[in-house]
Structure formats: structure tokens, C-alpha cells
Amino acid sequence: MRILVALGGNALLRRGEPMTAEAQRANVRVAAAALAAIQPGNELVITHGNGPQVGLLALQGSAYKPDELYPLDVLGAETEGMIGYMIEQELGNLLPFEVPFATVLTMVEVDPADPAFKDPSKFIGPIYPAGEVARLRAAHGWVLKQDGDKWRRVVASPAPKRIFELRPIRWLLERGTVVIAAGGGGIPTVYDPGRRLRGIEAVVDKDFCSELLARELHADLFIMATDAAAVFADWGTPQARAMRRAGPAAIAAYGFPAGSMGPKVEAACRFATATGKRAVIGALADLPALLRGEAGTTITAAVSGIAWAEGAG
């Protein structure tokens, strides 16, 4: 079975943890143990978030020389290297030596006319005091928005249109290679009017990018591994209930938070509808059970309503 597992950003660096290489590696080791359990007998492609890491690198650049920040495409490429390396090494330590691995840098085309560029919404990088906002806007042309009592930079989160390295990724999977790709939603690029590809200041949603990759690779199963045990209705209320299986139309009728479960449910619905295959959202630690459909929430066009989990979900 060809499986794409998307590792949520929190699977790699938990909120409030120090952003050291060692803290990241400790989390990668936990993810690797879960991934190792499902690799045998399957073709496995792994994607991952990079939010905290891009924030870290942006902060480092800022400390180094405030007016020469590296652009987001370059920072994205750096984090694909850093995180891909850690996943490849730690997962490699748990699987037989013979299993081939490749971390493939991934560029993603977005549309420069995507409406997301008119309404940047994705917070990135460090927080700034209100007094800094005017200077940062002038110096970098940034858009800054309020996040609590501080300010942060926001960038567009356009839809992914094309994954350039699709064929190499597919060829490697066909040879049994564990492939790590499309980290952080891929490196955001656009064609300029002269048909020259270049990077752009944006962050492609990693769930939508993972879905596009899963769909174009004809994956049999698309798993989004996160820190939630399942998709819940009425989350945060006494009526909270976990969904075990859901049809795309039925689950889409519920509302989910834009910053977390919303894009995951939307990506899962898109995959299930377009392919007729299963998408699963659930906890990283439950990966083998997610694969079997015995934990998390399975979204599939094969059911029309919602089947609720027994007990607490």
C-alpha cells in the first residue's frame, strides 16, 4: 500500500519547548518510532511542518543583521534540509539497513493571482512590540497584524498548484525508497511573466500541499498525524464527541478552527472525494491503528453520514 503520512508541526517541536537541535531530535525520534511501525510492506512518503523552525531561522537572521533577512523560499529550503535530515537519520536507525531513504527538496508552484496574496493571514516568525511595527513595515514592506498584545508578520498562504519533483518522488517510491518531501508545504514559487520560476514570500498550507502530493502520487491512504486523537464535534464543550468514520459532505457541515483542524478536514475531504480512497486524521502515537482504521477519524466517500467513536473517542 502506498501511504503518505503528514507530520504536524507540533509532532516535531512542541509549543514552549526550547528550539534546540536536541529538542527537535527528541521529538523526531518519537515520530520515527511510530513511522517505523508502519513502513514494512508499504511504500511510505513522509511530509512535515516547519512553522517553528522557520520562525527560528528568521529570528537568527534578524539577530545577525536586521535588514538582510533571508527570504521565505530560502528559509523553507533550509528547514526541508534540517528536518528531513533528522527524520531520515532517526527513522533509518529503526529500519533494516537495506531500506533506501531519500529526502527530496520540494518546490511548489502557486498562482501569483491567488486571492491569498490580497489578504495575508499566516503568522510567521518572532513577535514584535507595537513600537517596532512602523519601522518593520517601512524597512521590509511587511504586513504585520496583532497577535494577542504583540505584533507579528503575516504572509499569504496560497493554494499549491504543482509539485515540481513529483516524478522523482514517484520513481523513488517505486523502488521501495522511504521518501521525505514537501516539508513545510514545499518551497513557495511562482512563474514571473517571462516564465522564469522564482521564490515568493508566502507559506503554502502544509495540509493542502500534502493532499496534492498524496493525490498525484495515487496514494492509497493519506494520514495526517497530529496531537489530537481524532476529529471532534463540539470540541471544548461537555458534548464533545469523536468521529470514527465520516463522509466528506457530512463532516464538512461542521465548523473547525481555521488554524488547526479546519485545513486538515478540508484536505481530507478533498482527497477522499477526488480519489475514493481513505484519509485519516489522528494521533501520531496511534499510527498503526490509524492505518487499520481503528483509531482517529477516517474520512471516506464510502460512507455518507458520521459514525461516532465509542466512549471518549
What residues are labeled active site?
A: 9-10, 122, 206, 264
249 vs 273: CA distance, rounded Å:
9
Contacting residue, 7, 46, 77, 272, with a copy of itself by CB under 8 A: 77
Q: Which amino acid is at 159?
A: A
Q: Are 243 and 300 in contact (CB under 8 A)?
A: no
Place of cell 500541499: 209
Q: Which CB, 155 or 224, lies closer to a copy of itself? A: 155
Sign for the pseudo-dihedral over CA of 247, 249, 250, 256: positive
Nearest-approach distance from CB 24 to a copy of itself, in angstroms: 9
For 263, left (φ over 0), alpha (ψ -120 to 50), or beta?
A: alpha
Rounded to a whole number of angstroms, the minimum distance from the CB of residue 81 to a copy of itself is: 3
Interface with a copy of itself (CB under 8 A), residue from 167, 294, 304, 305:
167
Count of residues of this chain found to bind a copy of itself when the rule CB under 8 A is applied: 49
End-to-end CA separation in angstroms for the chain: 27
Q: Report DSSP state, residue 10.
A: G
**Residue 118 touches a copy of itself, criterion: CB under 8 A:** no
Interface residue with a copy of itself, options 7, 44, 105, 228 (CB under 8 A) = 105
Considering only residues 5, 104, 261, 283, which one is a binding residue for a copy of itself as defined by CB under 8 A? Answer: 104
Tell me if 161 contacts a copy of itself by CB under 8 A.
no
Which of 14, 40, 100, 253: binder of a copy of itself (CB under 8 A)?
100
Give the whole-angstrom CA distance, residue 3 versus residue 46.
8
Q: Which of 200, 99, 107 is nearest to 155 (CA)?
A: 200
Among 27, 47, 79, 300, binds a copy of itself (CB under 8 A): 79
Q: φ and ψ at 146, to 5 degrees?
A: -80, 135
Q: From residue 145, how far is each of 26, 77, 122, 148 by CA, in Å? A: 33, 25, 10, 10
> Does residue number 88 form part of the binding site for a copy of itself (CB under 8 A)?
yes
Name the 3-class secondary structure at 312. Answer: coil
Report if residue 92 touches a copy of itself, rule: CB under 8 A.
Answer: yes
For the CB of residue 242, give the shortest distance to a copy of itself in the complex, in Å: 37
Could you say whether residue 165 binds a copy of itself (CB under 8 A)? yes
> Cα–Cα–Cα angle for 70, 79, 229, nearest 5°?
135
- What residues from 186 to 225 belong to the interface with a copy of itself (CB under 8 A)? 187, 189, 196-199
**What residues line the site for a copy of itself (CB under 8 A)?**
18, 20-21, 56-57, 59-61, 63-64, 68, 70-71, 73-74, 77-82, 84-86, 88-89, 92-93, 100-105, 107, 164-165, 167-168, 171-172, 175, 177, 187, 189, 196-199
